[in-house]
A and B are shown apart, each in its own frame.
Chain A
Amino acid sequence: MNTKVERFLEIDNLGKQYAGTDALKSVSIDVEKGGFLVLIGPSGCGKSTLLNMIAGFEPATTGDIRIAGRSIADLHPSDRDIAMVFQSYALYPNMTVADNIGFGMETRGVPKAERIKKIADVAEILQIEPLLKRKPGQLSGGQRQRVAMGRALVRDPQAFLFDEPLSNLDARLRVDMRAEIKKLHARLGTTIVYVTHDQIEAMTLATKIAVLKHGELQQVGTPDEIYNYPANTFVADFMGSPAMNRVSGELVKSDDALEFRFGQHRLKLFEPSEELHTRAIDNPHIDFGIRSENINQPSGDNEPGAALVNTLSLSVELVEPTGSDTFIATRDENYSFTARIANNIPAKMGETMALTFDMAKAHFFDSDTGVRVS
């Protein structure tokens, strides 16, 4: 099914062991040419280890890495035709910005005239021409970030590696640089592997997201797949803010339809799959998940009957207006939900509020394994 073009960067059963424990368990990911792969997960999940193995700083215990069909697993970092942007930027403190960008070419014996031209080209792309004669110590965080990207850009490599490049910037600058990286990627079309723990960065930048936990790959997919069809409860919780609402309950058949019951509440499933039907008979115990934006105030546009079916009266524990939306945290019995509603809907703490669950966007996970059922 996959052609050679689609599989440009291949991570093939890559594994890494440190002193008997698995830092990375046989991970396989393919990236298409010009793709933007984001590796994401909590700290210690192995995402940085994986990036360092692609870069060549850490040898793989098992498996292979290929770029355009060529195995690079045994090559020196400089022979892999990759460029990297580091979390700390890693600019050479004793060299000017121009020398920082040109150091790789100097090492390769590129003639000086050509070096100067390429440095100028890159400086123009990143708008850092006025900084070329300065030392890294005289630059701001955002400027250093640009220089670090310039050093990677000037190599015109097969792939860029980014190791949490925005984590040292303040919130405002981070958003700006994120947009710039995305524009740069659109303009250059070079394949990128990008490590982050920020799920918004992952969603905004990636063409493909790989979620890792304890060295194990949880799910690989487009941002849409990861967000809308999380493979298990870990991915569901990790991606999206606030985390997905989840409650345990039972699937019950009523007439031709399926209902999810928890406590005294019942929610009617929207076009349930065959699997859920079978499940209701075999093993009705199940976890239900729904994102906060799929719990809304009842809308008059809905058919009165349908709206009422999936509308629950819940007591409001907390109201958090963010300006654009308002987050409502509800709690009754042992069930708590966070709903995201329009900012003009009145809500008061301690009151009861009717909230409609959009069951077309419901997720179901196995209660024991956490694996997605539907």
Chain B
Amino acid sequence: MNKLSARKFTVWRFALYVVLFVFAIYYLLPLYVMLANSFKPLSEIRQGDMMALPQVWTLDPWRSAWSTAQIGVQATGLKPYFYNSISMVVPAVLLSTLLGALNGYVLTKWRFRGDGVVFGLILLSCFIPFQIVLIPMAKMLGVLGLAGTTTGLVLVHLVYGLGFTTLFFRNYYAAFPTELVRAAQIDGARFFRIFWRILLPSSGPIIVVTVIWQFTNIWNDFLFGASFADADSVPMTVALNNLVSSSTGVKEYNVHFAGAVLAALPTLIVYVVSGRYFVRGLMAGAVKG
């Protein structure tokens, strides 16, 4: 009896793993195609078999995509645009996370008359479609003298991200014991010291969640980059599009694949490094709240 059920169990287990394996392959297929073809010379791709491994392995497409492909006026590759993206994403993520934490702190621990309405309005900004604000935003950037600059893009992403980051931190801090804030008050700490010394050091999981969320969204943004960036502030996503959809010359698919992987790499790394904290952070809020 016991043996039978054990055997039955293994059979089911085996079937389950087969199914899971098939699904995993299916989802990994695009990545495989991209990687495999990025290491082939163009002539091999022209033979038509996208699924085949390279017969001749070459790093040339990667070198080309990174530093010599013709994207703008000069043949610079994706390199300068990668740095554009970094110098846009890093301040935008840090500032929106910090300000979101500050908002959440005020909305939960320094309640004021009408704080619910303020939170509602901030939350509402999560639901405004990007397209609606394009023209007013362009006007505003013009007025501020930030049109076409990386600083301008940082501002746009900061403003857009605040709704989400505030939501994350508000919900996290709602479960944070108010008695701790009171204890710190008796200990003589005021507004910012309580924030820096007590709340922020206890916010690890939600900071990770927010950083991943903001990093992914801002890095992957195309619309704002395409709308508000100048030649010298174009982010990676827009540059990749320019590389792939250039209408002159030969379509270098291998270079395009390598470029696409390069563009996706930072978000991939962020997920792999901190993915477990991401899930843990989401759960922490859910269980405590």
What is A's interface to B at a CB cutoff of 8 Å?
A: 55-57, 76-78, 82-84, 86-88, 90-94, 103-104, 107-108, 151
> Complex Cα distance A77/B183, Å?
9
Q: List 10 A-B contacts (CB under 8 A).
A: A57-B182, A57-B185, A84-B183, A90-B177, A91-B183, A103-B187, A103-B197, A107-B188, A107-B189, A151-B183
List residues of chain B with CB within 8 A of the CB of A76: 185
User: Would you call B175 an interface residue if the criterion is a C-beta within 8 Å of the partner chain's C-beta atoms?
Assistant: no
Contact B187 A90 (CB under 8 A): no
Contact A86 B198 (CB under 8 A): no
- List the B residue with the shortest CB-CB distance to A99: B197
Contact A90 B179 (CB under 8 A): yes
> Complex Cα distance A78/B189, Å?
8
Contact B188 A55 (CB under 8 A): no
> Complex Cα distance A77/B181, Å?
11
Instruction: Point out the residue from A56, A78, A87, A88 that lies within 8 Å of B187, measured CB to CB.
Output: A78
User: Would you call B140 an interface residue if the criterion is a C-beta within 8 Å of the partner chain's C-beta atoms?
Assistant: no
> Complex Cα distance A91/B202, Å?
12
Q: A90-B177, A94-B198, A94-B202 are in contact. Are A78 and B182 (CB under 8 A)?
A: no
Contact A82 B201 (CB under 8 A): no
Q: Name the interface size band of chain B.
A: 10 to 19
Contact A92 B185 (CB under 8 A): no
Q: A90-B180, A92-B198, A94-B202 are in contact. Are A77 and B186 (CB under 8 A)?
A: yes
Instruction: Point out the residue from A77, A88, A108 that lies within 8 Å of B185, measured CB to CB.
Output: A77
Contact A78 B185 (CB under 8 A): yes
Contact B186 A55 (CB under 8 A): yes
List residues of chain A with CB within 8 A of the CB of B180: 90-93
User: Would you call B184 an interface residue if the criterion is a C-beta within 8 Å of the partner chain's C-beta atoms?
Assistant: yes
List residues of chain A with CB within 8 A of the CB of B202: 93-94
Contact B177 A78 (CB under 8 A): no
> Complex Cα distance A55/B187, Å?
12
Contact B182 A90 (CB under 8 A): yes
> Complex Cα distance A84/B186, Å?
8
Contact A107 B182 (CB under 8 A): no
Q: Which of B155-207 contact A (CB under 8 A)?
A: 177, 179-180, 182-189, 193, 197-198, 201-202
A340 CB, nearest partner CB in chain B, Å: 39
> Complex Cα distance A335/B44, Å?
103
- List the B residue with the shortest CB-CB distance to A76: B185
List residues of chain B with CB within 8 A of the CB of A88: 177, 179
> Complex Cα distance A151/B179, Å?
14
Q: Shortest 8 CB-CB distances between A and B: which pairs?
A: A104-B187, A78-B188, A94-B201, A107-B188, A90-B179, A90-B183, A86-B179, A77-B185
Contact B182 A55 (CB under 8 A): yes
Contact B186 A83 (CB under 8 A): yes
List residues of chain A with CB within 8 A of the CB of B185: 56-57, 76-78
Contact B186 A78 (CB under 8 A): yes
B46 CB, nearest partner CB in chain A, Å: 59
> Complex Cα distance A5/B1, Å?
84
List residues of chain A with CB within 8 A of the CB of B201: 94
> Complex Cα distance A76/B185, Å?
8
- List the B residue with the shortest CB-CB distance to A85: B183
A67 CB, nearest partner CB in chain B, Å: 14
List residues of chain A with CB within 8 A of the CB of B187: 78, 103-104, 107, 151
